[in-house]
Amino acid sequence: MPILNRAAELQDEVTGWRRHIHERPELLFAVENTAAFVAEKLKEFGVDEIATGIGRTGVVGIIRGKGPGTRAIGLRADMDALPLTEITGKPYASKTAGKMHACGHDGHTAMLLGAAKYLAETRNFNGSVAVIFQPAEEGGGGGNLMVKDGMMERFGIEEVYGMHNMPGLPIGQFAIRKGPIMAATDEFTITIKGRGGHAAQPHRTIDPIAIGSQMVGNLQMIASRNVDPLRSVVVSVTKFIAGFAHNVIPNDAMIAGTVRTLDDEVRTLAETKLKQIVNGLAAAHGAEVDIVFNRNYPVTFNHATETGHAIQIASDIAGAANVNADIDPMMGGEDFSYMLNARPGAFIFIGNGDTAGLHNPAYDFNDEAISHGISYWVRLAEQRLGS
Ligand SMILES: [Zn+2]
Ligand SMILES: [Zn+2]
């Protein structure tokens, strides 16, 4: 089955919504206007129940099928933008300098609204579909907060699915894999407390810059000498802040960065080793050190059975040749991971064609993907809810 006729008919209307949202980007949890737009559309479609304020500014719409049953599946989109200034020059470009939809969440929200409209019109399924619109995917963990607010229990959601556009993957194609598909994104901040002094009398100091430099070098041993080369880990130091003059060794230095892993065992090993290396080097050189290690988004883990359903639906729509069912995992993070930790499900990529990359100021969601995305959502809901 190719894309659904009705999804193709919705193309222009959904494109309008997408561009409306694109012009009005909002950050993190402060997506009040986008959430209000979503809730208003759901109301217009005759969705049975609309819950707002879940995970602060998240919205859930419940669409009941014609058939009986209490089973519900969740389809999730994200609503937030990024703190970037858009350079696309498009007529519907962001109206707010310093904010833009550079990750395509405008497109995700619009496609899920399109699916909600279709499903509310047809209702060819048993039980109910929960359309989930979350805030704060780009940091803040809005997905986590929605789960903590009891969304899964409240609406009886038994399976949950997510979708993200992928620049470089042709329009009409999908990509997915069973198991880990996106990384855990942990963050560390190391404060080295040495003893400053005259740059010409280093022997009277405890030099936090010299010690910190050894830490930066030695942290690379985690990837090169601690973790099995066939398993994945990234340790990136992204900040090193110290000093203020050519002739003064400062008291302190601060180092920060991120650790990316694809399974819990390596995640824990990397954290343990990072602390050992940093504490060991500080002790060796007489400095004090403070380490803050924040476990941020967990691994986005696609459950085998549900990934099988996703592959089947994507293949029905796009043709099996247009579905990469074993894409390499990515070391970026995604807070849909919290929903997948709460319920079985799968996260799929949809082709965005030859566009600028995500988080790039020249990026724009490709509206040609809309009918493919709507078709995927609709067929997935109808198939999983047994019509
Ligand atoms: Zn993003
Ligand atoms: Zn994103």
Give me the pLDDT at residue 4, please.
81
pLDDT of residue 337: 98
Same domain for 139 and 47: yes
Measure 297 CA to ligand 1 centroid, in angstroms: 13
Q: What is the pTM of this model?
A: 0.94
Cα 367 to middle of ligand 2, angstroms: 16
pLDDT in tens, 131-158: 999 999 999 999 999 999 999 999 999 9
Per-residue pLDDT, 51: 98
pLDDT at residue number 387: 59
Strand extents, DSSP E, 124-230: 126-134, 157-166, 174-175, 179-182, 184-193, 197-198
Write down the pLDDT at residue 3.
Answer: 77
Q: Which ligand is nearest to the CA of 100?
A: 1
Q: Are residues 20 and 107 in the same domain?
A: yes
Centroid of ligand 1 to alpha carbon of 61 (angstroms): 24
Mean local confidence (pLDDT), 186-193: 98
- 371 pLDDT more than 90: yes
State in Å, rounded, how far the first CA of the chain is from the last one.
Answer: 15
Residue 211 Cα to chain centre, angstroms: 35
Q: If you measure from the C-alpha of residue 225 to the centroid of ligand 2, how many angstroms do you get, rounded to a whole number?
A: 32
Angle at 331 between CA 181 and CA 364, to 5 degrees: 90
Confidence of residue 5 (pLDDT cuts 50, 70, 90): confident
Q: Are 199 and 379 in contact (CB under 8 A)?
A: no
Based on the fold, state whether residues 106 and 150 are members of the same structural domain.
yes
CA 77–ligand 2 middle distance (angstroms): 9
Same domain, 30 and 172: yes
Q: Specify the pLDDT at position 65.
A: 97
Which pLDDT score is estimated for 173?
98
Ligand 2 center from residue 137 Cα (angstroms): 7
Residue corresponding to tokens 């190719």: 2
Average pLDDT on 160-188 reads: 98
370-384 vs 11-23: helix crossing angle, rounded to 10 = 110
CA 169 to centroid of ligand 1, rounded, Å:
16
- Tens-place pLDDT, residues 342-370: 999 999 999 999 999 999 999 999 999 99
Which of the listed residues 273, 294, 315 is the one where a domain comes to its end?
294
Q: Are residues 157 and 11 in the same domain?
A: yes
Is the predicted pLDDT of residue 298 greater than 80, yes or no? yes
Ligand nearest to the CA of 166: 2
Cα–ligand 1 centroid distance for 360 (angstroms) = 10
pLDDT at 89: 97
Same domain (yes/no): 244, 307: no
Pair of tokens at residue 121: 């019109």
The predicted structure's pLDDT at residue 318: 97
Tokens found for residue 209: 């810059």
Ligand closest in space to the Cα of 138: 1
Mean pLDDT for 122-129 is 97
Q: What is the pLDDT of residue 1?
A: 55
Average pLDDT, the chain: 97
Q: What digits encode the pLDDT tens for the residues 34-63?
A: 999 999 999 999 999 999 999 999 999 999
Share of the chain above pLDDT 70, in %: 99
Nearest ligand to the CA of 143 is 2
Tokens representing residue 186 in the block = 């942990």
Instruction: List b or e across 121-150, with b for residues whose CB sees 16 or more CB atoms inside 10 angstroms.
Output: ebbbbbbbbbbbbbbbbbbbbbbbbbbebe
Q: Burial letters for 227-240: b for 16+ Cβ neighbours within 10 Å, e otherwise?
A: beeeebbbbebeeb
What's residue 160's pLDDT?
Answer: 98
Summarize the confidence of residues 252-264 as an average pLDDT: 97
Domain end (from 271, 294, 317): 294
Residue spans of beta strands (DSSP E) within 65-196: 67-78, 126-134, 157-166, 174-175, 179-182, 184-193
Q: Are residues 176 and 217 in the same domain?
A: no
CA of 278 to the centre of ligand 2 (A): 33
Q: What are phi and psi of 185, to 5 degrees?
A: -120, 80
| Amino acid identity at 304 | A
State whether 38 and 159 are in the same domain.
Answer: yes
Nearest ligand to the CA of 139 is 1
The ligand whose atoms approach the alpha carbon of 108 most closely is 2
**Residue that terminates a domain, selected from 279, 294, 309:** 294
Helices 208-221, 264-285: inter-axial angle, 10-degree rounding: 150
In the chain, how many domains are there? Answer: 2
Q: Does residue 138 share a domain with residue 244?
A: no
Domain span including residue 154 = 5-182+300-384
Residue with tokens 């802040």: 241
* CATH number for the domain that contains residue 124: 3.40.630.10
62 and 192 both lie in a single domain: no
Q: How far apart are CA 362 and CA 88, in angstroms?
A: 5
Helix (H) or strand (E) holding 9, with range, is: helix 5-9
Look at residue 353 in the predicted model and tell me its pLDDT.
98
Ligand 2 center from residue 100 Cα (angstroms)? 12
What local confidence, expressed as pLDDT, does residue 186 receive? Answer: 97
Same domain, 199 and 237: yes
Tell me the CATH number at 251: 3.30.70.360
Are 64 and 169 members of one domain? Answer: yes
List, by residue number, the catalytic residues: 80, 137
